[in-house]
Amino acid sequence: MNTIEKTIAMIAISLFLLSATLIKQTVPWVAPKDADAVKNPVKDNATATADGKKLYTQYCAVCHGAKGKGDGPAGIALTPRPADHSSARIQSQTDGAIYWKITTGKAPMASYKVPLKDEQRWELVNYIRELGKPAAKK
C-alpha cells in the first residue's frame, strides 16, 4: 500500500466507526409487533411487583438506577445510555414489548432469558410500571 491508499483506508475506517457510533445513539430500540400481543400473566399482582422490585435492585439498578432514571453507576459511561424507565417513552410501550426487550437484550444490555425465569421477567415489567407512577412506593 502506498501513502495515498493508506490515507484513504484510514478515512474509510474512521467514517465507518463514526457512523456506527451515530447509529447506536440515534436509532430507537423497537420490539417486534407480535410482542405487543403477549399478555402479562402477573398483571396487577402486588406480590409479583414486590418480587420485581427485589430483582430490579439486584440486576438492573446498577445501570438503570435505583429509581429507574437511567442513572446507575455502571450506566453513566455507556453509549447509548440506559433507558429512563419512568419516562413516557418507556411507559407508552406495551407490557409485551418491555418483556421482549428484557428477554432479548441489546448491547451493552445483556439478554435476561437465561439468568431469569419467564415469570421473573414479567415481575420486572410490573415493577417498571411502578417506576412510571408519580409518587409510587418505589
Query: Where on the chain is the footprint of ligand HEC (CB under 6 A)?
Result: 29, 59-60, 62-64, 74-75, 78, 80, 82-83, 90, 93, 98, 101-102, 106, 108-109, 112, 124
Identify which of residues 35 and 109 has a Cβ nearer to ligand HEC in the complex.
109
Nearest distance from residue 27's CB to ligand HEC, in Å?
8
The amino acid sitting at 65 is G
The phi, psi pair for 86, rounded to 5°, reads -85, -10
Read off the C-alpha cell for 72.
446507575
Under 8 Å between Cβ of 71 and 65: yes
Identify which of residues 42 and 90 has a Cβ nearer to ligand HEC in the complex.
90
Cα gap 33→13, rounded to integer Å: 35
Nearest distance from residue 8's CB to ligand HEC, in Å?
32
The phi, psi pair for 109, rounded to 5°, reads -90, 135
Nearest distance from residue 82's CB to ligand HEC, in Å?
4
CA distance from start to end of the chain: 60
Identify which of residues 6 and 133 has a Cβ nearer to ligand HEC in the complex.
133
Nearest distance from residue 75's CB to ligand HEC, in Å?
6
CA atoms within 13 A on the CB side of 91: 14
Identify which of residues 48 and 112 has a Cβ nearer to ligand HEC in the complex.
112
